[in-house]
Amino acid sequence: MAKKEKRQSVTLTAESRQGLVVKNTGSAYDVRLDDGATVSCRVKGNFRIKGIRTTNPVAVGDHVKAVRATDDVWYITEIMPRQNYIIRKASNLSKESHILAANIDKALLVVTLREPEVPLTFIDRFLATAEAYRIPAGLILNKCDLWDDEDRELGEAMKYLYDSLGYPTIIVSAATGLGLETLIKETTDKISLLAGNSGVGKSSLINALIPGLNLRTGEISGLYHTGTHTTTFSEMIDLPYGGEIIDIPGVRSFGTIDFTTEDVGHFFPEIFKASNNCKYGDCRHINEPGCAVKEALAENRISQSRYASYLNILEEVEAGNSDKYRKGNG
């Protein structure tokens, strides 16, 4: 029988530094130390946020304490208190969530009307997630150079809707440069998360904002009209005009994390505002009498697409809560 390999102990030195996590490389993290040098760090110890189990205990944007070991390897030993963070449901079923980024000023979702078409429900799930974690959010409608008249009408309608809800929406084309000046103003001197499905042109947009960067871009599948992953790991990229962009791999879906039935309406500002006039405090805004949300919907003060997204998330939350109840009482 083979001998069990003895695990090497790690001896830390007294050299401790503050730093900023600027890249997740899978097995390690690149940390920019307070003197400007960047070192590759491993994680030492267990990290938890409010008891939430995550696939990545450390995220890009985290301020950390890094300590050098006697073997000249650097280790992250502590995460400084976070200003905020944003998560999504993890694809790994053994975990609950995956942290997309921490300490961000703005969460921007890049969407396209074609090649690929991004569903409105996906947009609203992202915005609801940003609301849940109290992060200002906005939309970037990319590839407007591909639009026909019908697309243009839809794009302008989407901009009007989301602008009116407090989510600044920018129509841009990475190919022609249209709208880039507005995007530059929106991201100057901020740490901005750039999220989106694969194929929506995140890398092309970043290349347009930072000439000479030459991030790899992917082709759109002709069969499925979806994009291919070109960003493998999350990375913070300095902007030449001030500020940083956090580029993350393409996100296929945003599942709800620890939402309650009462929470869902709070994460749709227009529904929350209208709900103050509902007859019942626990109104779900489906078929209850005296529902001010349904009245606002009938009067077009709440859009049908947003209400459909609300119902979609509510159904998922209620199904999840039902599953938890059965498991807890089985």
Tokens encoding 273:
């505002």
Query: How far apart (Å, rounded) are the C-alpha atoms in residues 122 and 129?
Result: 11
Residue found by looking up tokens 């809800």 in the block: 165
State how far the Cα of 226 lies from the Cα of 223, in Å rounded to an integer: 8
Residues in the chain: 330
- In the chain, residues under CATH classification 2.40.50.140 are 12-82
pLDDT of the residue at 255: 64
pLDDT in tens, the chain (330 residues): 444 444 456 676 667 899 999 999 878 999 999 999 999 999 876 665 555 567 788 999 999 999 998 888 899 999 999 999 988 876 555 456 788 899 999 999 999 998 899 999 999 999 999 999 999 999 999 999 999 999 999 999 999 999 999 999 999 999 999 999 999 999 999 999 999 988 999 999 999 999 888 776 654 433 333 334 355 689 999 999 999 999 998 877 676 667 888 889 999 999 999 999 999 989 999 999 999 999 999 999 999 999 999 999 999 888 875 444 333 433
Q: Name beta bridge partners: 97.
A: 54, 89
Backbone angles phi, psi at 238, to 5 degrees: -70, 135
- Phi–psi pair at 64, nearest 5 degrees: -135, 165
Could you tell me which CATH number the domain at 12-82 has? 2.40.50.140
pLDDT at 107: 97
Instruction: Give the alpha-carbon dihedral of 164, 167, 170, 174, to 10 degrees.
Output: -150
Q: How many other CB atoms are found less than 10 A from the CB of residue 66?
A: 24
Q: Identify the residue whose tokens are 């695990």.
A: 7
CA dihedral 12→13→18→24, nearest 10 degrees, is -40
Terminal CA-to-CA distance of the chain, rounded, Å? 43
pLDDT of residue 256: 65
Q: Does domain 86-247 have CATH number 3.20.20.70?
A: no
* Pairing state between β 74-79 and 63-69: antiparallel
Please list the residue range(s) of the chain that carry CATH number 3.40.50.300: 86-247
Intervals of CATH 1.10.40.50 along the chain: 261-328
Q: CATH number of the domain at 261-328, please?
A: 1.10.40.50
| Per-residue pLDDT at 12 | 66
